[in-house]
Structure 1
């Protein structure tokens, strides 16, 4: 395992481009495939690309808010102190790798933006304490927890189909999260990954070519002790430092959250998840000034996603309008029967995710094909939805798009961690595929 990992990290360091260049290359790849595999002309593909460029702005804003609100909550003092104390549980590099993986898995299952951020922050806390740990593997282990996000509480596909008015409601109706996120087959897959992924990450440890980091380089503005408010504050400054204002605002938000949970149950959707993390962040940061400072840092980490999302929307435009997405999905459907359909839906979603790394965007592309095929084969819409959801999460292990926030926090680039993540891809693919087949 160590030999294989050393080889894969060398390959990634040499050949993996920057994530922005990656999306540019994917754009040209999809453009050429559209010409070769569909009747589209070059002019058609350019039009599909340009017209699709801004189609996902609403969803992009929801995704950015998930990331920003998750970052703000994870960077609050109460969570920072908790991470430092939790880091004290590890005394060796091996323990650090296992613990950071478990934290990343749990946090990503709760909320994908929260998981990306808290995993990276916890990895930095561990690196400060255990200076001999391979920093690249530590961050890769934190990011590997992201594999469970689409089977968790913030999974965009299960939340979409649980939301009244979703675009497939006339076909499948409303599917409660009890049949998707909390279904026994999904919980067993999640539990299996909680066991196997930490073990794999621990096996990838190697003293050869390990990259450590100077703890002094890991300090950030959040580690600096906050200065007390000035004695002669202006009225505006008193408002900015008012704990009362934050508490009242936070409690107002929590009141609505409580009302929602009482009236709608635990049927979470993207908007309510964002709402919960937004107002918990306001409460935990205590003052508007502290909260806004954390928001400013969170927005910096979202920069890579913001600029790349329109390019992926353009790729999605080409995939959909040219018929490429239908070609990919239909080919896998043609190979399926009642038993194998969830597995092939998972594999097709993993491929499409390379070009449309957005759970909601990908669902918009694949749902009409997969849901119709699933109904014809007698596979439940809930199981079909989760198969596509897991496929979307699966290839994120080698698609650098969603690693951008964690990499920004860690001060690394994609090629530093992808050599480790590719083995997580292989392991998780086997675990999820077997789960969809036999559970």
Structure 2
């Protein structure tokens, strides 16, 4: 059994290494695919489709900024000295390579459930700390373990779909009139169904990845240059500081800012309970990081370093906005690609199968619209009214879309960019292992949606 499983894993790894291009090229190829499909589905002219594509290029600017801030605030919190010391202590726990893989994935799953940007970063940073202690571990598998925690992000505290539902706003327009009142997080994120699915994944996926551990001849060790510590900057003599440098290194500024920030955070939760949205998540992580970094200049340096990881978001999000523009474009036929996919699954659904088929359709759409907000904009107007007609809970349908959006990120390289940047690897190095996670979690989530 172990040999068969290892052969499957090595086949998946080889497949991805051979055929998966750079994530930007992947986005460009998807653009060409949806353009071609749109010619047949919408019945529109090539120029009309190009105009729809161009119109969509800048449609995700606001959401892109939110996502970039989630990544940056998560990163600067993960790199704050208290967190780094905590990671070093955790990294000393595993005594062999299988334990290393299990612990990294377990921590990544928990961290991604708390905040996706924080989870991506802290998983990769922990992996780099662990590999210093356990040099024999397969490095691509270890980084895949760090990234695989991302499969739960949209079911967690920073999940954009459940947070949109909780924050209210113009839900009727977003959902085709199916949802007119806010749906609290105790019916989505903290529902028994969602927590059970998350719990099963948390307790089993780390061991699944540990079971993927390759033989010694197939193990890829960490390159020595990646283990070299960066030299710290020389400390500035306090007596020789200029007034400007004293301000830059003033802990009082950070603690005052932190106190102001936490005064609002406490007030927010007193007034709103556990109702979370992207802005308050970013707020919490930003002001916690400001306190833990100690001085303003440390925060500036941390943000400058973290911002490097947003390059992929900045470059690729416009193209995914363009893809979304084509996916939602309706030509003379009156049908869009996204609508056609969603309607196909709706038409073959009944009350029992609808949540599972919603999940699968969301997984397909996620290839072309790897954005929680974009996914919601594409599918909510179709899937939410259908759920009302079939008598399926709106909260459950929304979480099926959320799980589908997160699920196929295991083989959609876009969101792996921050972790890969920290690790010094390419997407093709880890996606073979993530493909196996995709198959397993797809089964767990489908069964949970069908029977819980």
Structure 1 length-normalised TM = 0.98
CA shift digits 1:104-147 (9 cap, x unpaired): 00000000000000000000000111110000000000100001
Q: Distance in 1 between matches of 2:233 and 2:9?
A: 40
Secondary structure in structure 2 of the residue aligned to 1:231: helix
CA drift of 1:331 comes to 0.1
Q: Distance in 2 between matches of 1:213 and 1:380?
A: 47
Taking the TM superposition and a 5 Å limit, the aligned residue runs for 1:6-405 are 6-168=10-172, 171-172=178-179, 173-207=181-215, 208-221=217-230, 224=232, 227-322=235-330, 323-405=336-418
Q: Distance in 2 between matches of 1:185 and 1:152?
A: 13
Secondary structure in structure 2 of the residue aligned to 1:244: helix
Gaps of at least 5 residues in structure 1 are none
Gaps of at least 5 residues in structure 2 are 331-335
CA RMSD after TM alignment: 1.2
CA shift digits 1:337-358 (9 cap, x unpaired): 1111100000000000000000
CA shift digits 1:315-365 (9 cap, x unpaired): 000000131100000000001111111000000000000000000111011
CA drift of 1:217 comes to 2.1
Aligned length: 438
Q: Quick one: structure 1 residues 57 and 90, their matched pair in 2 at CA, closer, same or farther if it must change by over 3 Å?
A: same
CA drift of 1:38 comes to 2.1
CA shift digits 1:191-231 (9 cap, x unpaired): 0100121111011101232110145523354x737635442
Q: Distance in 2 between matches of 1:310 and 1:7?
A: 33
Q: Distance in 2 between matches of 1:227 and 1:404?
A: 32
Q: Distance in 2 between matches of 1:217 and 1:427?
A: 31
Q: Quick one: structure 1 residues 8 and 226, their matched pair in 2 at CA, closer, same or farther if it must change by over 3 Å?
A: farther
CA shift digits 1:274-321 (9 cap, x unpaired): 110110110110001111101001100111111100000000000001
Q: Quick one: structure 1 residues 312 and 229, their matched pair in 2 at CA, closer, same or farther if it must change by over 3 Å?
A: farther
Secondary structure in structure 1 of the residue aligned to 2:329: helix
Structure 2 length-normalised TM = 0.95
Q: For the Cα contact (< 8 Å) 2:226–2:424, is it kept in 1?
A: no
CA shift digits 1:32-80 (9 cap, x unpaired): 0101222222111101100111011001100100000000000110110
